Amino acid sequence: MDTTALRRDIARRKTKDAIFAVAGLAATLVGLITLLALLIDLAIDGVGRINPMFLSNFPSRFPDKAGILSAWVGTAVVMLVTALSAVPLGVAAGVYLEEYAPKNRLTALIEINIANLAGVPSIVYGLMALGIFVYKLNLGQSVITAGLTLALLILPIVIMATRESIRAIPASIREAAFAVGATKWQMVRHHIIPYSAGGILTGVIIGLSRAIGESAPLITVGALTFIAFLPPAPVTGGFPFINFEWLKSPYTVLPIQLFNWVSRPQKAFHLNAAAAGLVLMTMTLAMNGVAIAIRYRFRKRIKW
């Protein structure tokens, strides 16, 4: 190939790279602009309703007196159960499948099923949880049922994120650990998990962000559309000072409260729904912000 043809080929490839970069930027801007438009629309409609009374009042048939206290508290406790259930189990499963499980047909079948479960519609998890947690285990229409249902929903996401993060670690890290006499568990504990913590937390963020906005599986397992009381306090003044009755309490969550208000014909309830949507997005961003801060601290402490 002569010099002129080579220059033309290089120029053609640079043009293709530039076109791809512009297309990628345009796709990103479409998503950002859509999200910004949604936020602006919610803010215009609902920011005037957000005040201490709106956050501290129970739902009411009078829109000017209605609040989201039971909804945001229910969302918080359900997400707590979800995180405590899905994160340790998902990380442990991911570590086992990637570091300990033998590479055979059974393992390959499990991996395929996990990948498929990540794309199953959420209502299917609700139906499964209704049969297992509500009818078989008799957990009832409670906070623990909702938390375990959402934990099943995000478990495949956490497992896949854990496995991909572990795969990204160079083999030299493992070989160096074994070379100085470390056992398999010591290598996993002191090297694999710390180095992959950033990617694992990214998967946890994605999973929890999906779970906090779900309503279909929670409606299936018995979430209430109207509730005017809070779960019992987890901490008591007497021995043993810890109370688990809140796990058996009825509940509602912000997405269901949103659905309830949007389905009403009064304009004032629609404004309440917009305000609740802003609160839900704020809770999601705050939760993600905490996870990102933890991820940053992990990455900052690690030295390759």
pLDDT in tens, 160-182: 999 988 988 888 888 888 888 88
Cis peptide before 240 (omega within 30 of 0): yes
Give, as one character, the DSSP assignment of residue 265: S
Q: Are residues 207 and 267 in the same domain?
A: yes
Residues 6 or more apart whose CB falls under 8 angstroms from that of 232 comprise 243, 245, 246, 249
Tell whether the model's pLDDT for residue 1 goes beyond 70.
no
Instruction: Choose among 42, 44, 45, 39: nearest CA to 267.
Output: 45
Average pLDDT over residues 73-89: 91
Instruction: Choose among 49, 47, 67, 50: nearest CA to 59.
Output: 67
Q: Are residues 131 and 250 in the same domain?
A: yes
Count of structural domains, the chain = 2
Q: Are residues 97 and 24 in the same domain?
A: no
19: tokens are 């076109």
Rounded CA separation 226/154 (Å) = 26
How high is the pLDDT of residue 238? 67
- Where residue 243 falls (left for φ over 0; alpha for ψ -120 to 50; beta otherwise) is beta
What SS3 class is residue 140? coil
Q: Are residues 167 and 204 in the same domain?
A: yes
Q: Are residues 108 and 230 in the same domain?
A: yes
Rounded CA separation 166/259 (Å) = 40
Tell me what percent of the residues of the chain surpass a pLDDT of 70.
96
How high is the pLDDT of residue 168? 86
The residue written with tokens 């006499």 in the block is: 181
Mean pLDDT, the chain, as a whole number?
86
Full residue range of the structural domain in which residue 93 is found = 51-301
Tell whether the model's pLDDT for residue 90 goes beyond 90.
yes
Q: Are residues 35 and 75 in the same domain?
A: no
Tell whether the model's pLDDT for residue 244 goes beyond 90.
no
